[in-house]
Structure formats: structure tokens, C-alpha cells
Amino acid sequence: MAIDDQDQETGDQAFLKQDTLGRWPEMTYGGALSFLRRRYSRDLHNVEVAVSGIPFDSAVTYRSGSRLGPRAIRAASVQLAELNAFPFGFDPFDYLSVIDYGDCFIDPHHPETVVETIAGHIKTMTDANVFPLSFGGDHFVTYPILKAIAAKHGPVSLLHFDAHCDTWEDDGKRLDHGSMFLRAKNEGLIDVTTSCQVGIRTYNDSDHGFDILTAPWVHREGVEKTITAIKDRIGSNKVYLTFDIDCLDPAFAPGTGTPVPGGLSSAQALTIVRGLGDLNLVGADVVEVCPSYDVAEITALSAATIAHDILCLLALKKDVQTHPVGRL
């Protein structure tokens, strides 16, 4: 039976929509789930951003389950696809060509293939000059992503939101979501002299050259000083943004594998991210959403909103006419 023209412009745009710009009406409570209802596709022609899931969580040191994070983030994004973006006042998909690339297929029974598989997945995007926006999975997935990013751009600055420094001792081989950024430094994937960690509230004997804006510092000094410190540190360098959802306090993000009290609020984190439009972003991820420990989807909602706002920052680079309302 043929689908009439009206039906072609409502609902299920994840697989019915033929182009990568714009959007049409969806039921927030129904329809095929993709991130922000973007079209599912592996065609990177004329695409600017590819969203994909990296459902791997075998590198955790405490609670597992973040392999289900990409699914939860997609489901939590439905309302964000309904109205113009707040506080920006525009539809990012009027300006930015975005697809949902689906998930990276990982064989968990052959852990020796994980790094190569994820790096190859991201390389497909970077080779096509497409910005990768990835959903974990545990935080180890950022290491193979950085291998692909560095192969394209050289050593990049790392903007790392987290409760944990993730620079503990690393032997160069282990699958460990707490040591991969020391490995990334040692392998020359990142330039720590222009890199920044935000929200840290666990101890390490060394900062390994990062500028660390601890959670107490952010609480004491405020979000505006935090934004300024990040921009001063990174400058115009190419930067990869990685956001571990446990950067947020467990009151705002209980659905994560290694929660640590005293973290940022969702309001603080969103204000900081929304203030980073001047950065030269070359990729980003949101990781460690563990839906089995979530409450009323609040963790997944924060993750989806952070990812949505990163897309808005990319759209702002394109002569967008913003229409914010209210006292911002």
C-alpha cells in the first residue's frame, strides 16, 4: 500500500526522511528512536556530523551496564527534537547536516580487537571530514576514538569532564577506563599542555600536565570563571571534548558506574558547555550512562541534552540567527 504525501512528512523520520537537514513532527512517545530523530544512515556524503553509539563496557572497574547507554541516550532525546533549542532559539538541523550512524559493532568475546574496531569506526567518519559525536559505553572508548582523531588532526587538546582523572598507571595494553588518558599522553595523541580536566574529585599523585579544575574549584569560583579558564587553556587549538556523565553529582546522574558525591549540577554543566562555542571542536563524546542505575531517566536526559547542545555549538559556527528569550 502506498504511503501518501502527508504520512511521508510525519513520524518515523529516522528511516523515512530522505535528507539530513530539517525535521518533521513526531510523537514524543512513539516512533522509531534515533538520536534527536535524525535519519539512520551510513552514507556520509554531504554529512557534517555522524552520531554513533559505542556499546562497550568491559573496561569498567565497578558497576557495568553502560553498554546500554547509547540506547538510553537516544530514547531520552525525544523532547529535544520537538522544539527550537533552548537557550539558543533555533533549530540546529536547519543549519547542520546530522545523521545517526547507528552503533559500532564490537565483538566482546575478542577483546584484543576492541581498540582497532572502535578506531576504525571513527576513522570512517574522519576520513570523510565528518565530525564524530559518540555515545558510550565506558570511558575507555575515548582512547581508540582519540587514536582516529590524532591520525587525522595530530595531537589535540583534550577537554575532559569527569569525576575521575583517568590518568592512573597504565601498561599500554590494559582495557581500563581509569588509565587511558595517561596512555593517550604517552602515545602523543593529546597535548596535555593545552588540555583541561573539569569536575575532578578523586586523587592522583600527579596532574600529568593537565590543568585540573576540580569540582570544589568550580563550585567556589563559578561557571563563568570556569569557562574563561577552559578557553584560556585551550585557545584556538583543535580540541576533543569528552564528557563522562559522572562529572555530575549523583543527585543529578545516579545512572552511572562510578558515582562520586560533590560533583557539578546539570545546570552548571550545561551552562559551561553552552559557553564553549569559540572552541575549535573536532569531535566529542558522552560516556558512562548506565541506565540500570538511573532514576526516571534523569541521567540519560542530562547526557542527551549535553550532546544536543554540542550540536548547537557546531551550528552556531554557521551564521545562525539566534532568538533567545527571557533573562539569560
Q: pLDDT > 70: what percent of the chain?
A: 98
Residue where the block lists cell 569528552: 242
Residue 1 has pLDDT above 50, yes or no: no
Q: pLDDT > 90: what percent of the chain?
A: 93
**Residue 72 contacts residue 297 (beta carbons within 8 Å):** yes
**pLDDT tens-place string over residues 251-302:** 999 999 999 999 999 999 999 999 999 999 999 999 999 999 999 999 999 9
- At 320, the pLDDT band (50, 70, 90 cuts) reads confident
**pLDDT tens-place string over residues 5-51:** 555 788 999 999 999 999 999 999 999 999 999 999 999 999 999 99
In a domain, 250, yes or no: yes
Computed from CA positions of residues 10, 14, 16, 22, in that sequence, does the dihedral angle turn out positive or negative?
positive
Residue where the block lists cell 590494559: 174
* Residue 7 pLDDT: 58
The pTM assigned to this predicted structure is 0.95
HEC readout, 270-311:
HHHHHCCCCCEEEEEEEECECHHHCCCCHHHHHHHHHHHHHH
In total, how many domains does the chain have? 1
Cell numbers for 306, please give them. Answer: 549535553
3-state secondary structure of 248: strand
**pLDDT tens-place string over residues 70-103:** 999 999 999 999 999 999 999 999 999 999 999 9
Average pLDDT over residues 187-192: 98
Cell numbers for 219, please give them. Answer: 563550585
- At 325, the pLDDT band (50, 70, 90 cuts) reads confident
**Residue 145 contacts residue 119 (beta carbons within 8 Å):** yes
CA distance 41 to 15: 8
In a domain, 324, yes or no: no
Computed from CA positions of residues 30, 34, 35, 40, in that sequence, does the dihedral angle turn out positive or negative?
negative
In a domain, 91, yes or no: yes
What's the mean pLDDT when you consider all of the chain?
Answer: 95
* Residue 321 pLDDT: 77
In a domain, 7, yes or no: no
**pLDDT tens-place string over residues 196-228:** 999 999 999 999 999 999 999 999 999 999 999
Q: How far is CA 245 from CA 74, 92, 121, 166, 193, in A?
A: 15, 23, 23, 14, 24
In a domain, 6, yes or no: no
In a domain, 54, yes or no: yes
Cell numbers for 251, please give them. Answer: 543527585
Structural domain harbouring 189:
12-316
In a domain, 269, yes or no: yes
We report the CATH number of the domain holding residue 85 as 3.40.800.10
3-state secondary structure of 144: helix
Average pLDDT over residues 185-189: 98
CA distance 147 to 309: 25
Using the 8-state DSSP alphabet, how is residue 189 labeled?
A: S
In a domain, 170, yes or no: yes
